[in-house]
Amino acid sequence: SKDKLKVATNNPGNKDFLEFVSKKGGQKLEIYFATLRDIKRSLNLYKKELYKTFDELLKQQVNAAGKITQNEAPIAKIVDTLIEYAYRSNASDIHIEPGEEHSLVRFRIDGILHDELKLPKELHDQVITRIKVLSALRTDEHLSAQDGKLQMKLKEEDLDVRVSLVPIVGGEKAVLRLLTSHYRQFGLSDLGMNTEAFDRVKEAINKPYGMILSTGPTGSGKTTTIY
């Protein structure tokens, strides 16, 4: 109703908190139960403006770096900002791919690749070198694929990042997979299986013998499913 303040909470039993909110808002409350995951997802909708601000900051840094000498370019800051921005955007992967005129940065969000940023071409090799240094990979190897990992300390968690470097026409392509804990807060029903498959899995789980195989190509959701 119009005269009530609608509140979503994952702990409707916390009467002291709800009473405090009611007094602060000067209205009676209409309580809705929501999971913590849904609340965080909803809050992300209101963070979009922050993302835009962060995006502009990133572009300013890159533009500034493109205008000054290569040695002065804030490469470490650019790489850190890219990873942090991807994390805030709930991206699972960062793709950095060299092109003829610029280097394209894409984020994989909910399985779909989104073009996020065009880096000046002259910065691409420096960004790749910085990623190699953080991942303890060979900086003098440019013609073979390399795999490694790095860790970045964020306010929310120590983020593990799996790094894959592949030589392609025009340079080296980097794929960074963000192995964050918040992608694994799923229930079985959240995985998007159709009814028949879901019933089959539930039936198999309850059997005292046999095994369930989780198979598929890289990035198809095996680890998330098992968790």
Is the alpha carbon torsion for 73, 47, 42, 11 positive or negative?
Answer: positive
What value does the mean pLDDT of the chain take? 84
Question: In the prediction, which pLDDT does 13 show?
Answer: 87
Q: What is the DSSP letter of 12?
A: T
CA distance 201 to 53: 44
CA 105 to chain centroid: 14
Greater confidence (105 vs 56) lies with 105
What lies within 8 Å, CB to CB, of 186 at 6+ separation is: 224, 227
**Mean pLDDT computed over 184-196:** 78
pTM, two decimals, is 0.64
- Least Cα distance to 173 among 107, 140, 128 occurs for 128
Question: In the prediction, which pLDDT does 132 show?
Answer: 96
**For residue 131, what pLDDT band results from cuts at 50, 70 and 90?**
very high
Question: In the prediction, which pLDDT does 145 show?
Answer: 94
Question: In the prediction, which pLDDT does 141 show?
Answer: 93
**Which residue in this structure is represented by tokens 């989780």?**
214
Q: What is the DSSP letter of 71?
A: G
Question: In the prediction, which pLDDT does 106 show?
Answer: 93
